């Protein structure tokens, strides 16, 4: 569990995480299902030594909680109602196509159907976390802003 403060009794004696019943399989139970979509940002590049990256969040969650985290960083998943229904929280990050050699390619694009599916999922109670600030040219926010068109929020495309 994420912590005693987040655990509530459901009246049957079973623990409920953040008001959600756990999802259980033969492999065990998880209370919060998270998808990390996009390439994980890298910080503190010192030549061949990478100092830190955003995978620290998924590592911590896997080790210190009952959350399950699926990472989609090499290929873009199609955001459909079925795909999104597997998760309680979506973390969207940096969207470049990344080759096995580590070269950044064109930014992922999202269709209106994907935006509509994400909109419906969030409006039905799904949690969405957005991260940016990976590229110095400001273009990284274009696909992110596409996904956020249903909100009153948009990221600026400037470098200041």
Helix (H) / strand (E) containing 4: none
Residues in the chain: 160
The per-residue pLDDT for range 18-57, each reduced to its tens digit, is: 455 666 667 666 678 899 998 776 655 555 555 556 677 7
- Are 32 and 89 spatial neighbours (Cβ–Cβ below 8 Å)? yes
d(CA 91, CA 109): 16
Model confidence, pTM: 0.72
Residue ranges of domains in the chain: 20-147
* Burial tier of 144 (Cβ tally within 10 Å: 0-12, 13-18, 19+): buried
pLDDT band (50, 70, 90) for residue 84? very high
Provide mean pLDDT across the span 107-118.
Answer: 95
d(CA 66, CA 53): 22
CATH no. of 20-147:
3.40.50
Nearest to 122 by CA among 95, 86, 150: 150
Range in 5-19, 116-130, 133-147 the model is least confident about: 5-19
Q: How far apart are the first and last CA of the chain?
A: 40
């Amino acid at each position: 569990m994420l912590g005693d403060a987040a655990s509530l009794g459901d009246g049957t004696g079973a623990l409920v995480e953040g008001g959600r019943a756990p999802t259980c399989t033969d492999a065990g139970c998880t209370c919060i299902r998270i998808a990390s979509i996009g390439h994980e940002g890298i910080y503190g590049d010192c030549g061949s030594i990478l100092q830190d990256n955003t995978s620290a969040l998924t590592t911590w969650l896997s080790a210190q909680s009952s959350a399950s985290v699926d990472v989609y960083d090499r290929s873009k998943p199609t955001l459909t109602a079925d795909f999104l229904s597997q998760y309680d929280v979506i973390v969207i990050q940096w969207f470049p196509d990344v080759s096995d050699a580590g070269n950044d390619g064109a930014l992922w694009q999202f269709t209106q159907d994907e935006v509509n599916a994400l909109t419906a999922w969030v409006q039905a109670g799904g949690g969405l976390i957005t991260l940016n600030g990976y590229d110095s040219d400001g273009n990284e926010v274009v696909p992110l802003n596409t996904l956020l068109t249903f909100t009153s929020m948009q990221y600026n495309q400037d470098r200041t």
